[in-house]
A and B are shown apart, each in its own frame.
Chain A
């Protein structure tokens, strides 16, 4: 798996940055060194090949999901990192992949 986690949203509402820094903070607290980056959804197709974990804000298109599957990129929902609902479960899964 590529050592990079990306968070993408298309709104520019800063949601992806907020989620990215939340995840980065959680990893740091657990002493895990792993690159986390917020990217623009428009460039997602170019970002996927260099990515191991893709956290989405808006539900990605089928095309993007297919490409992610093809490249073996793991895909997770990002909204739980904003609301806290179901966050721990997703975070544990991400941690397991990274670990």
Chain B
């Protein structure tokens, strides 16, 4: 699939706290910026994008969010995996239906033409019951890293 290298053990954040999406975005943007993956306008871009085009998806086995900004705010391509302690409210892509989400994949896309393949690979992952079950059960950073890289090879 070719997106394996976008995952990074340093960008797997489990048990993140936050009452609402905005608070979560601020926290993740801070961490991504500290590690040099995004620039200082990223947070603003992330919030604006999510408001205009929500990125939640109610998939068969798991509700997920795929927040991302315009490529201009991304310094290095990445996929950050974020699991929240408690669910937050977000809206579904397309129909803006309200949904609860605990698992988010922040997509750092630098090349717009890569988006299609990336989205396709992720969707294939989330339609794969075996992957999703294992993903939900896995609670450690390294094990999650191994799982996602194994499945996106």
A residues in contact (CB < 8 Å) with B: 9-15, 17-18, 21-22, 56-59, 77-79, 82-85
Contacts and interface: CB of A to CB of B under 8 A. Distances in A.
A87 to B, nearest CB: 9
**Pairs A-B, 4 closest by C-beta atoms:** A14-B115, A11-B53, A79-B94, A17-B116
Contact of A14 (B52, B58, B92, B119): B119
Contact of B95 (A14, A22, A79): A79
Contacts of A85: 58-60
Contacts of B58: 83, 85
The main secondary structure of chain A at its interface with chain B is loop
Interface of B: 49, 52-53, 55, 57-60, 68, 92-96, 112, 115-116, 118-120, 123, 126-127
15 contacts: A9-B94, A11-B49, A11-B53, A14-B116, A14-B119, A18-B120, A21-B116, A58-B53, A79-B92, A82-B93, A83-B57, A83-B58, A83-B59, A84-B127, A85-B60
B116 A82 contact: no
A2 to B, nearest CB: 24
Contact of A22 (B92, B94, B118, B120): B120
Given A59-B94, A59-B96, A82-B123, A14 B59 contact: no
Given A77-B94, A83-B58, 8 more contacts: A15-B94, A18-B123, A56-B94, A59-B94, A79-B93, A82-B57, A83-B126, A85-B59
